[in-house]
Amino acid sequence: MKIALITDTHWGVRNDAQNFLEYFRRFFHYQFFPYLEKNNIDTVIHLGDIVDRRKYINYITLRHLKEEFINKLEKKNIDLHIIAGNHDVPYKNSNDINAMRELFDRRENCKIYWEPETVNFDGTDICLMPWINNSNYAQAVEHMKDTPAQILMGHLEIAGCLMMRGMTNEHGMQIDDFDKFDMVMSGHFHTKSTTKNIHYLGTPYQITWSDYKDPKGFHVFDTDTRQLEFIQNPYEFFFKVYYDDAGKKAVDVLVDNEYFFATQEAYVKVIVQSKENPFWFDQYMDKLYMCNPASIQIVDDHLNLNLEDDEDIVNEAEDTVTILSKYIENMETNVPKKRLDNLMRNLYNEALYMEV
């Protein structure tokens, strides 16, 4: 039996931004559901954080969630199993009230897990583990101890695993706590990674600049072979565009640029490596703006940035977390830099999803 695994969909991200909802729709409409249909997959497990806001949901976001995901699964007779994630619950110490239980608990094809439970899928026991908090920690540990399952799927915070590129998580349960399982698959951290028997699946699409060029998509788990296959999402939402007109003709700069039609409603950083003809650059930017990107940032080496080579220019256009890390690395301080770096990354990550 093959099961599609998806996690951290975060409907409602960026204050329910419409361009993100359309970007999500493109992934589900053109990749996710066609793949399920082509491969006759009739079971989906969502590993948590199906929505972004912890305490309420926007009606427009809810309609997108229903039309592009929940209703489509129901119409195609695909069973959906949803594990509660930390963004699905309004309280830090309880999973009892959660978004999916309140919204979709009466759907026949939809089963929601806010407490640990072991479920048999075509002869294979799988332990389904929701977000672990103070009130259910003892229950979670006891269930993991007693379950006959060799496979665990959940929404977990495990120390020693990659939280995001370049950042290792230092909080939560320990990797050794899951030694009894052959495979552990989890949501929560947004970058795809593997540490020993722990597989963080990552988000299906890009949500922040930290996701730039980070492989995104969903997975298929085969209960017979226990193979985990990654299906990569080809759609990007964050682009770095390089402008260089040195020694070139106008046609080379302004025609057939691959990004001109890919950046609609997306986020773009224009990295200026050479700007010998300001008029061409203005034309280039006009053409880029006509594609209606959501945001354009320009990183220009003509602003006394003291950038020495192309690598420095690229670095100047890095995401916020990378810039913070490099700044801390170059600081003259007696404070342990690694601890300070981890603190700043944690604060940034919390602020990123703070409700406003």
Q: What is the pLDDT of residues 149-167, one digit of tens each?
A: 999 999 999 999 999 888 8
How does 195-228 read in b/e, with b if 16+ C-beta sit within 10 Å?
eeebbbbbbbbbbbbbbbebebbbbbbebeeeee
Please check whether residues 313 and 347 belong to one and the same domain.
no
- Give the integer Cα–Cα distance in Å for 43 and 69: 13
Please check whether residues 187 and 64 belong to one and the same domain.
yes
**Whether the Cβ atoms of residue 48 and residue 157 lie closer than 8 Å to each other:** no
Token pair for 325: 């890390």
Q: What is the pLDDT of residue 352?
A: 59
Q: What is the pLDDT of residue 354?
A: 52
Last residue of a domain, one of 232, 265, 281: 232
Q: Is 181 left (phi over 0), alpha (psi -120 to 50) or beta?
A: beta
Please check whether residues 111 and 172 belong to one and the same domain.
yes
Taking the model in full, what pTM does it have?
Answer: 0.85
- Give the integer Cα–Cα distance in Å for 177 and 102: 32
> What are the start-end ranges of the H helices in the chain?
13-16, 18-27, 33-38, 59-65, 71-75, 99-104, 137-146, 250-254, 278-289, 310-316, 320-329, 337-352
Please check whether residues 289 and 326 belong to one and the same domain.
no
Report the CATH number that the domain containing residue 87 is assigned in CATH: 3.60.21.10
Q: What is the pLDDT of residue 35?
A: 98
In sequence order, the 6+-apart residues with CB closer than 8 A to the CB of 307 are 301, 313, 316
Taking the chain (356 residues) in runs of 10, the rounded mean pLDDT of each run is 98 95 97 98 98 95 97 97 97 94 91 97 98 96 98 97 88 96 98 97 95 96 97 94 86 68 84 90 89 89 45 49 73 76 73 52
In sequence order, the 6+-apart residues with CB closer than 8 A to the CB of 293 are 263, 264, 265, 266, 267, 268
Please check whether residues 207 and 344 belong to one and the same domain.
no
Please check whether residues 186 and 279 belong to one and the same domain.
no
**Strand pairing partners for 111?**
81
Please check whether residues 285 and 183 belong to one and the same domain.
no
- Give the integer Cα–Cα distance in Å for 32 and 218: 8
Q: What is the pLDDT of residue 105?
A: 86
Please check whether residues 191 and 221 belong to one and the same domain.
yes
Please check whether residues 150 and 246 belong to one and the same domain.
no
Please check whether residues 55 and 190 belong to one and the same domain.
yes
| Three-state secondary structure call for residue 328 | helix
Q: Is 90 exposed, middle or buried (0-12, 13-18, 19+ CB in 10 A)?
A: middle
Q: What is the pLDDT of residue 307?
A: 43
Q: How wide is the angle at C-alpha 90 spanned by C-alphas 85 and 94, nearest 5°?
A: 70
In sequence order, the 6+-apart residues with CB closer than 8 A to the CB of 354 are none
How many structural domains compose the chain?
3
Residues counted in the chain:
356
Token pair for 307: 């950038």
In sequence order, the 6+-apart residues with CB closer than 8 A to the CB of 306 are none
- Side-by-side strand order, sheet with 267-274: 238-244, 267-274, 295-300
- Give the integer Cα–Cα distance in Å for 262 and 274: 23
Q: Is 81 left (phi over 0), alpha (psi -120 to 50) or beta?
A: beta
Give 51's DSSP letter.
B
Token pair for 354: 């703070």
Please check whether residues 304 and 336 belong to one and the same domain.
no
Domain of residue 118 covers 2-232
Please check whether residues 75 and 199 belong to one and the same domain.
yes
**Tokens 């075509």 sit on residue:** 122
